[in-house]
Structure 1
């Protein structure tokens, strides 16, 4: 299971959202669960809730995805960096042939986008 956290999911995790906490726990405890936090998402989450980026980056079950050149080119074509980086991270890759699911508390934002979502709204 490959899951990309958007900035709303990161904020929810910092505010005690049970569903977000369960995802983080599973990614730490289960070998076939992978959680990703794209760098641009971390920045946006930290802007709205200072300390979020450092907290999430310190969790052993979360992999921070760098803004490498292909990601930067994808982000440059979009209006918001956090959404663009999350969407880019959810696309299929050699390691994730089926892509990843985006965990969010704002699922309507992703309607019409070529991604699958996991609603973390309590």
Structure 2
């Protein structure tokens, strides 16, 4: 299971969202669960709730995704960096042939986008 946390999911995790906490626990304890934090979304989450970036980056079950050249080119085509980097991270790759699911507390934002969504709204 491959899941990309958007900035709303990251912020929710720091505010005690039970569903986000369960995802983090599963990624830490189960070998076939992977959580990704795109760096652009991590920055936005930290702006919304200072300390979020340090906290999430320190967790073993979360992989922070760098803004490499392919991601930067994809992000440059969108208005918001956080959503664009999350969407890019959810696309299929050789490591994730089926892509990843975007975990969010703002599912309406993703309507019409080419991603699968996991609603973390309590």
Measured against the shorter chain, the TM-score band is over 0.9
Aligned to 1:23: 23
d(CA) in 1 for partners of 2:100, 2:23? 14
Give the unaligned 5+ runs of structure 1.
Answer: none
Q: Which residue of 1 aligns with 2:108?
A: 108
Q: Partner residue of 2:120?
A: 120
Residue aligned with 2:4, SS: strand
Aligned to 2:42: 42
Partner in structure 1 of residue 94 of structure 2: 94
Q: Residues of 2 paired with 1:68 and 1:77: CA distance?
A: 15
Cα distance, 1:118 vs structure 2: 0.2
Aligned structure 1 segments of 4 or more residues deviating by more than 2 angstroms: none
Cα offset, 1:19, TM superposition:
0.2
* Aligned-CA RMSD value: 0.3
TM-score (norm: length of structure 1): 1.00
The alignment covers a number of residue pairs equal to: 122
Distance 1:78 1:29 in 2: 35
Counterpart CA distance in 2 for 1:28 and 1:46 is 22
Within 1, Cα distance between the matches of 2:52 and 2:41? 10
Q: Identify unmatched segments of 5+ residues in structure 2.
A: none
Q: CA deviation at 1:2?
A: 0.1
Q: CA deviation at 1:114?
A: 0.2
